[in-house]
Structure 1
Amino acid sequence: MSAQQIPNLLSLRGGPRSRGGRGRGRGPSTSDADHGISGSNARNRKDLDIQSTDTDAAVSRLSAVSLGYLHDPYAALFVAGGGTRRMPIINRGTYTRTTALDILINAFLAHQDPNQPQVKQIISLGAGTDTRYFRLRSQDKQHNLIYHEFDFPTVSETKRRTVLGNPMLSKLQEEEYIFPDPRHPPPSQTAEWGITQTKDGVSETTYCCHPLDLRQLPKIQTLQEILGLRNDIPTLVISECCLCYLDVDSSRDVVKWFSDRIPSLGIILYEPIGADDPFGQMMVANLAARGITMPSLRPYKTLLDQKTRLGELGFSKDSGGQEAETVEKIWEQWIPSTEKERVDSLEGLDEVEEWQMLARHYAVVWGWRGSLGWEGWNGLGTTTAS
């Protein structure tokens, strides 16, 4: 379900569609009604279309890594067939989004509040093939951190098999082990799985994957029903093109489920905006032609709309705050000049106007409640992506 690249750019330019990625879907001249597809089957088909976006995301991440934009030793493990080189504007988009999230997440992890526990918690919605936990582990940043991932059961099970099948992912320290027992399959595809470590003689979950359709989350009554989830520590929720695929009420209910239960909470969203101008309308039309819709595009068209959204979900200025910035401005203002020169030297960028138009149609939005280290944050004076 995760969509960790700027989506649909190949279609916008009329280029070839990526096999197995966002290009998979129906042609513009057919519909579910034309084929007599029932409501439940149509929803399942749309769910599969959304899930397929993660394949393209993994390919785009590997493209950026292979060309030197980003460092991620695990990217290739989630792509079959060696990957595909993306266009420079996609690579730059992948780099800029990843950098922005790295900056905000690292600020969250580094911030120390003497009035709060040192242990922190990250919740990644629609995580798909995301490698962030393993990158944090390789950087020795997983200490005092509980990392959760939510995604469809089939996606979670595929990731479990990938992790178990690659020593770089599954080879752990002596005091850690994967659950359920990797020698035996889990009792069902909906079984939670992850990594547990022993600390001071106590077994603690440090990484947990929850096979769950997020639309079912609001039906769960208590936090304790989800393995390892806590409400007594600073927590960060991440949605990279995940909630935008849910209808507005469902996405609101998902965020509200966490905000109602966790007092010290932050959230980061990466989503498209600007659906009303010609570029945005073309983006919506091309996505619809492949059976994909982003309901958030209509009500949250601007950065102000996105900030207001977070304010209404509990991240108000009275208790914390919210900020938002376009990918275009993040590239211009968050990335140091020396780093821009390094990125520019990798392959150059001829489509400058195209990049600017594309980048101003995607936003990183973040909100917080309490002290999370983001107060007054504007991203200036930042470091390079990890």
Structure 2
Amino acid sequence: MSDEGVRATNNDASHCKRWCVEKRYFRDDYLKYFVHSTTAKAPEISRGYYVRVQSVRQAMRSFIKQHDSNCQIINIGAGFDTLFWNLTQEGLQPQAFVELDFPQIVMKKIRVISSKSELNSVISRDEGGCDGTKVTKGSVHSQCYHLLSIDLRDKTAVSKVVEACSLDPTLPTLVLTECVLCYMPAQSSAHLISWASTTFPNSLFLNYEPCNMSDRFGSIMIENMRSRDCELPGILACPTLTDQEKRFTDLGYSNAKAIDMNQALRQLPAGDFQRIARLEFFDEHEILTQLLEHYCLSWATQGHSGNICLDLAL
């Protein structure tokens, strides 16, 4: 597997999300700065991304609101994600929002942020109204937002994130990984989870990735990724939802829960489901069910965050 193959998944995901925005599955006023155009995607793909995006956003909203914004978020493998800007637009800005990714992706993101006032004006705000943003070739640091180049397989680099971003380990912290752990060797992902549970005693780890891959549908997905020079070395570490939960409790978290994305879909309010149904013609319901069955959302908590009931109702 090449790192380039993994980095290419950022472009794939960003283009799928941009199509969803154009078709009005969800709103994102900032993704257009990172993805200027896209091509049509199959309706089942768009619906899958809708459930993914809305579930993660709602988990973020729930966490920030329950801590009255006195919290931190670390988005690992963030790519061209626009969560920070979307949450800020909703008035839900945590004390610190950190994004980590490969240097090549971070440099591209920095160029876009630096060139668009709609993006850089948001990260430049501080309590005194002053612009204290520091931008280098491989990082952005402001009072509320940090973007940092890092190889997540490098234990030493990961351990320096707290210091580099001036994080407070005592604050409630949400660590997010979307399709990240599955691209890492099991040993590396275990170190990452263990680092998070040890460093942030009051924390929630939120993970989205493929699961239930042992059947024919899963094999086809794996072969498709392999054909694009993108292996999934971590996929066998957690073949089932139960394994997803056990991974986190084995690595320091007090509680863990995992659901497949069909379960997340069933939490959609009836009115919103009807709205989605009107967006474009769709009759591949069986394919969508199979697709969502092979992705999951898992979360683990400890400390004060262990008392949080993560509300994923969309």
Q: Normalising by the residue count of structure 2, what TM-score does the alignment of the two structures yield? A: 0.93
Mapped partners of 1:310, 1:322: distance in 2: 6
Paired residues, number: 310
Match of residue 277 from structure 2: 344
Q: Which has the larger radius of gyration?
A: 1
Q: 1:133 to 1:224 in 2, by over 3 A?
A: closer
In terms of fraction of residues, the more helix-rich structure is: 2
Superposed displacement of residue 171, structure 1: 2.6
Aligned pair 1:52/2:8, yes or no?
Answer: yes
Mapped partners of 2:92, 2:187: distance in 1: 35
Match of residue 327 from structure 1: 261
Deviations 1:157-212 (A, max 9, x none): 1101101111211234581436325xxxx2xx44x313x3xxxxxxxx20001111
- Alignment partner for residue 238 of structure 1, among 176, 181, 187? 176
Aligned pair 1:132/2:83, yes or no?
Answer: yes
Superposed displacement of residue 253, structure 1: 0.5
- Alignment partner for residue 253 of structure 2, among 299, 315, 319? 315
Match of residue 55 from structure 2: 100
Match of residue 157 from structure 1: 107
Match of residue 358 from structure 1: 291
Mapped partners of 1:220, 1:269: distance in 2: 18
8 Å Cα contact 2:202-2:303 kept in structure 1? yes
Secondary structure, counterpart of 2:74 in structure 1: strand
Mapped partners of 1:373, 1:341: distance in 2: 34
Superposed displacement of residue 101, structure 1: 0.9
- Structure 1: gaps (5+ residues): 1-42, 197-204
Mapped partners of 1:224, 1:151: distance in 2: 15
Superposed displacement of residue 221, structure 1: 5.0
Mapped partners of 2:308, 2:59: distance in 1: 11
The 4+ residue runs of structure 1 with deviation greater than 6 A are none
8 Å Cα contact 1:265-1:370 kept in structure 2? yes
Q: 1:223 to 1:346 in 2, by over 3 A?
A: closer
Q: Normalising by the residue count of structure 1, what TM-score does the alignment of the two structures yield? A: 0.76
Mapped partners of 2:294, 2:307: distance in 1: 24
Deviations 1:331-370 (A, max 9, x none): 12x1011110011111132111111111100000011102
8 Å Cα contact 1:120-1:146 kept in structure 2? yes
122-131 or 281-290, which deviates more: 281-290
8 Å Cα contact 2:70-2:171 kept in structure 1? yes
- Alignment partner for residue 371 of structure 1, among 280, 304, 312? 304
Mapped partners of 2:96, 2:222: distance in 1: 36
Secondary structure, counterpart of 1:214 in structure 2: coil
Superposed displacement of residue 227, structure 1: 2.4
Match of residue 175 from structure 1: 129
Match of residue 64 from structure 2: 109
Mapped partners of 1:336, 1:88: distance in 2: 19
- Structure 2: gaps (5+ residues): none
Mapped partners of 1:259, 1:290: distance in 2: 33
8 Å Cα contact 1:111-1:372 kept in structure 2? no
Identity %: 28
